[in-house]
Amino acid sequence: MGLVISDSSTLIHLERIDRLELLRSFYARIIITPAVWGEVVEQGKGRTGAAEVANAHDAGWIEVISPAEDSLVRLLGRDLGDGEAEVIALAVERHADLVLIDEWEARRIADLYGLTKTGVVGILIRAKQEGEIDLLRTELDRLRDAGQFWIEDRLYHQALVAVREE
Protein backbone atom coordinates (compact mmCIF):
# COMPACT_ATOMS: atom_id res chain seq x y z
CA MET A 1 0.00 0.00 0.00
CA GLY A 2 1.13 3.55 -0.67
CA LEU A 3 1.02 6.44 1.75
CA VAL A 4 -0.59 5.61 5.12
CA ILE A 5 -0.94 8.33 7.76
CA SER A 6 -1.92 7.54 11.35
CA ASP A 7 -3.44 9.48 14.20
CA SER A 8 -2.39 8.82 17.78
CA SER A 9 -5.47 6.85 18.84
CA THR A 10 -4.78 3.98 16.46
CA LEU A 11 -1.17 3.69 17.60
CA ILE A 12 -1.96 3.88 21.30
CA HIS A 13 -4.89 1.46 21.28
CA LEU A 14 -3.17 -1.15 19.13
CA GLU A 15 -0.19 -1.04 21.47
CA ARG A 16 -2.45 -1.41 24.51
CA ILE A 17 -3.45 -4.82 23.17
CA ASP A 18 0.07 -5.67 21.93
CA ARG A 19 -0.91 -5.40 18.25
CA LEU A 20 1.08 -2.38 17.01
CA GLU A 21 3.12 -4.71 14.81
CA LEU A 22 0.02 -5.32 12.68
CA LEU A 23 0.63 -1.88 11.17
CA ARG A 24 4.15 -2.83 10.16
CA SER A 25 2.93 -6.11 8.75
CA PHE A 26 0.12 -4.55 6.72
CA TYR A 27 1.64 -1.27 5.59
CA ALA A 28 5.45 -1.51 5.99
CA ARG A 29 5.67 2.26 6.63
CA ILE A 30 3.43 4.60 8.61
CA ILE A 31 3.57 8.38 8.54
CA ILE A 32 2.67 10.43 11.60
CA THR A 33 2.70 14.18 12.12
CA PRO A 34 4.62 16.20 14.72
CA ALA A 35 1.45 16.67 16.79
CA VAL A 36 0.86 12.90 16.83
CA TRP A 37 4.51 12.32 17.78
CA GLY A 38 4.16 14.89 20.56
CA GLU A 39 0.95 13.38 21.88
CA VAL A 40 2.14 9.77 21.82
CA VAL A 41 5.87 9.96 22.52
CA GLU A 42 6.60 13.26 24.27
CA GLN A 43 3.44 13.97 26.29
CA GLY A 44 2.79 10.23 26.62
CA LYS A 45 6.24 9.44 28.01
CA GLY A 46 5.95 6.49 30.35
CA ARG A 47 2.50 5.55 29.04
CA THR A 48 1.48 2.74 26.72
CA GLY A 49 2.65 3.31 23.16
CA ALA A 50 5.29 5.96 23.80
CA ALA A 51 8.38 3.75 23.81
CA GLU A 52 6.99 1.42 21.15
CA VAL A 53 6.29 4.26 18.71
CA ALA A 54 9.71 5.78 19.41
CA ASN A 55 11.31 2.37 18.76
CA ALA A 56 9.32 1.99 15.53
CA HIS A 57 10.55 5.43 14.47
CA ASP A 58 14.13 4.43 15.25
CA ALA A 59 13.63 1.23 13.25
CA GLY A 60 12.44 3.32 10.31
CA TRP A 61 8.89 2.08 9.82
CA ILE A 62 7.24 5.09 11.46
CA GLU A 63 8.24 8.44 9.99
CA VAL A 64 7.33 11.96 11.13
CA ILE A 65 6.32 14.42 8.39
CA SER A 66 4.86 17.89 8.86
CA PRO A 67 1.99 19.19 6.77
CA ALA A 68 3.09 22.10 4.59
CA GLU A 69 -0.26 23.88 4.54
CA ASP A 70 -0.54 25.57 7.93
CA SER A 71 -3.75 27.38 6.97
CA LEU A 72 -5.55 24.05 6.44
CA VAL A 73 -4.27 22.79 9.79
CA ARG A 74 -5.60 25.93 11.49
CA LEU A 75 -8.96 25.61 9.72
CA LEU A 76 -9.30 21.95 10.71
CA GLY A 77 -8.14 22.79 14.22
CA ARG A 78 -11.38 24.67 14.80
CA ASP A 79 -13.21 21.33 15.05
CA LEU A 80 -10.42 18.84 15.75
CA GLY A 81 -7.48 18.30 18.04
CA ASP A 82 -3.99 19.16 16.81
CA GLY A 83 -3.15 15.58 15.84
CA GLU A 84 -6.33 14.97 13.86
CA ALA A 85 -6.03 18.37 12.13
CA GLU A 86 -2.44 17.69 11.06
CA VAL A 87 -3.22 14.14 9.95
CA ILE A 88 -6.11 15.20 7.73
CA ALA A 89 -4.20 18.20 6.34
CA LEU A 90 -1.20 16.02 5.50
CA ALA A 91 -3.44 13.36 3.98
CA VAL A 92 -5.10 15.96 1.76
CA GLU A 93 -1.75 17.49 0.73
CA ARG A 94 -0.04 14.20 -0.02
CA HIS A 95 -3.09 12.38 -1.45
CA ALA A 96 -2.74 9.64 1.14
CA ASP A 97 -3.95 6.19 0.23
CA LEU A 98 -5.24 5.56 3.76
CA VAL A 99 -5.77 7.46 6.99
CA LEU A 100 -5.81 5.57 10.30
CA ILE A 101 -8.20 7.51 12.49
CA ASP A 102 -10.82 6.58 15.08
CA GLU A 103 -12.46 9.71 16.47
CA TRP A 104 -15.96 10.22 15.09
CA GLU A 105 -15.65 13.91 14.19
CA ALA A 106 -12.26 13.37 12.54
CA ARG A 107 -13.69 10.48 10.50
CA ARG A 108 -16.61 12.65 9.43
CA ILE A 109 -14.28 15.42 8.28
CA ALA A 110 -12.02 12.89 6.52
CA ASP A 111 -15.11 11.83 4.58
CA LEU A 112 -15.72 15.43 3.52
CA TYR A 113 -12.23 15.46 1.97
CA GLY A 114 -12.80 12.11 0.28
CA LEU A 115 -10.11 10.35 2.31
CA THR A 116 -10.06 6.58 2.62
CA LYS A 117 -9.94 5.68 6.29
CA THR A 118 -9.93 2.85 8.74
CA GLY A 119 -9.36 2.56 12.46
CA VAL A 120 -8.46 0.04 15.11
CA VAL A 121 -11.54 -2.12 14.51
CA GLY A 122 -10.93 -2.17 10.75
CA ILE A 123 -7.32 -3.19 11.29
CA LEU A 124 -8.39 -6.02 13.59
CA ILE A 125 -10.97 -7.20 11.04
CA ARG A 126 -8.22 -7.32 8.42
CA ALA A 127 -5.98 -9.17 10.87
CA LYS A 128 -8.66 -11.82 11.34
CA GLN A 129 -9.28 -12.11 7.58
CA GLU A 130 -5.56 -12.53 6.91
CA GLY A 131 -4.99 -15.05 9.70
CA GLU A 132 -2.93 -12.73 11.91
CA ILE A 133 -5.30 -13.28 14.85
CA ASP A 134 -7.44 -16.27 15.79
CA LEU A 135 -10.61 -14.64 17.12
CA LEU A 136 -11.77 -11.11 16.48
CA ARG A 137 -14.10 -11.28 19.49
CA THR A 138 -11.14 -11.87 21.82
CA GLU A 139 -9.27 -8.88 20.37
CA LEU A 140 -12.31 -6.59 20.50
CA ASP A 141 -12.92 -7.58 24.12
CA ARG A 142 -9.26 -6.87 24.94
CA LEU A 143 -9.57 -3.55 23.11
CA ARG A 144 -12.59 -2.63 25.24
CA ASP A 145 -11.09 -3.80 28.53
CA ALA A 146 -7.30 -3.49 28.49
CA GLY A 147 -7.30 -0.95 25.68
CA GLN A 148 -9.98 1.24 27.27
CA PHE A 149 -11.41 1.77 23.78
CA TRP A 150 -15.10 2.50 23.47
CA ILE A 151 -16.78 0.43 20.76
CA GLU A 152 -20.43 0.99 20.01
CA ASP A 153 -22.37 -2.29 20.41
CA ARG A 154 -23.68 -2.06 16.84
CA LEU A 155 -20.12 -1.76 15.47
CA TYR A 156 -18.94 -4.61 17.72
CA HIS A 157 -21.59 -6.94 16.30
CA GLN A 158 -21.13 -5.75 12.71
CA ALA A 159 -17.42 -6.52 12.97
CA LEU A 160 -18.11 -10.03 14.25
CA VAL A 161 -20.64 -10.65 11.48
CA ALA A 162 -18.11 -9.43 8.89
CA VAL A 163 -15.68 -12.19 9.91
CA ARG A 164 -18.38 -14.81 10.53
CA GLU A 165 -17.95 -14.97 14.29
CA GLU A 166 -21.60 -14.13 14.91
Residues 92-142 pLDDT 10s:
999 999 999 999 999 999 999 999 999 999 999 999 999 999 999 999 999
Domains contained in the chain, number = 1
Tell me, yes or no, whether 150 lies in a domain: no
Per-residue pLDDT, 44: 86
Per-residue pLDDT, 46: 86
The parent domain of residue 39 ranges over 4-120
Per-residue pLDDT, 147: 85
What order of strands is seen across the sheet that includes strand 30-32?
62-64, 30-32, 4-6, 98-100, 117-118
pLDDT at 1 over 80: no
Tell me, yes or no, whether 58 lies in a domain: yes
The model's confidence at residue 29, banded by pLDDT at 50, 70 and 90, is very high
CATH number, position 65: 3.40.50.1010
Tell me, yes or no, whether 116 lies in a domain: yes
Instruction: Quote the distance between the C-alpha of residue 95 and its chain's center.
Output: 17
The whole-number average pLDDT for the span 141-150 is 92
Per-residue pLDDT, 49: 80
Per-residue pLDDT, 59: 96
The whole-number average pLDDT for the span 5-30 is 95
pLDDT at 148 over 80: yes
The model's confidence at residue 32, banded by pLDDT at 50, 70 and 90, is very high
Q: Which long-range contacts (CB under 8 A, 24 or more apart) does 104-108 make?
A: 105/79, 105/80, 106/7, 106/80
> Environment class of residue 144 by beta-carbon count within 10 Å: exposed (0-12), middle (13-18) or buried (19+)?
middle
The whole-number average pLDDT for the span 33-37 is 97
Residues 54-106 pLDDT 10s:
999 999 999 999 999 899 999 999 999 999 999 999 999 999 999 999 999 99
Tell me, yes or no, whether 142 lies in a domain: no
Tell me, yes or no, whether 72 lies in a domain: yes
The pTM of this model reads 0.94
